[in-house]
Amino acid sequence: MTTRLLLISDTHVPKKARALQPQVWSLIDRADIVLHAGDWVDEALLDEIESRATRLVGVAGNNDGPALWQRLGEVARVEIEGVRFAMIHETGDAARRERRCDAQFGPTSAEPADVLVFGHSHIPWDSTTPGGLRLLNPGSPTDRRRQPVGTVMTALLDDGILRDVTLVPTPR
């Protein structure tokens, strides 16, 4: 069985953009599971993605209000095809990120994960820690900051193997 994933974060709707791009909605519609790593900003976007996504897993971010925090929380954990995912909005500075994430989510942590999806920086990230934890930040589709264009990530899970992790540009 193959599972299509969409990783998205830092949508900031309606503050940084009035709406998500049609391209992003198309990716949401085609994904089997959408993983959103926080900074939705408006509960209406959560409702809209929830209504269109086959399955949605999300967390709240530092720009999200109490209603989003109550619905989503800080950390989400889900197992998909035997792969253990954890998600959090913020992991701190890039310096020593792998060490911090290994300690909190890696193989020797209380609840180990195989993949950690995070956001906050709006800067895409794909690395593997010394402990073997895959770190993925899809960037932001609406607020590119120092990036040439906004981004999301797609990936496939195939028989318990994460493959085809792809950074997808989302120009306005």
Instruction: Give the pLDDT of residue 74.
Output: 98
Q: Is the pLDDT of residue 172 over 90?
A: no
Lookup: tokens for 146: 């120092």
The whole-model pTM stands at: 0.96
> What letter does residue 106 receive in the DSSP assignment?
S
Lookup: tokens for 53: 């996504």
In this structure, what are the phi and psi dihedrals at residue 152, rounded to the nearest 5 degrees?
Answer: -135, 175
Residues 10 and 139: beta-carbon distance below 8 Å: yes
Q: What is the DSSP string of 1-65?
A: -EEEEEEE----BTTT-SS--HHHHHHHHH-SEEEE-S--BSHHHHHHHHHH-SSEEE---TT--
Q: Which of 150, 121, 149 is nearest to 135 (CA)?
A: 121
Q: 42-100 pLDDT, tens per residue? A: 999 999 999 999 999 999 999 999 999 999 999 999 999 999 999 999 999 999 999 99
Please name each of the domains of the chain with its CATH number. Answer: 2-169 (3.60.21.10)
Dist CA 131 CA 106 (whole Å): 6
Which own/partner contact pairs does 104-111 have at CB distance under 8 Å and 24+ positions apart? 105/133, 106/131, 106/132, 106/133, 107/131, 107/132, 107/133, 111/77, 111/86
Residues 64 and 88: beta-carbon distance below 8 Å: no
Q: 119-159 pLDDT, tens per residue? A: 999 999 999 999 999 999 999 999 988 899 999 999 999 99
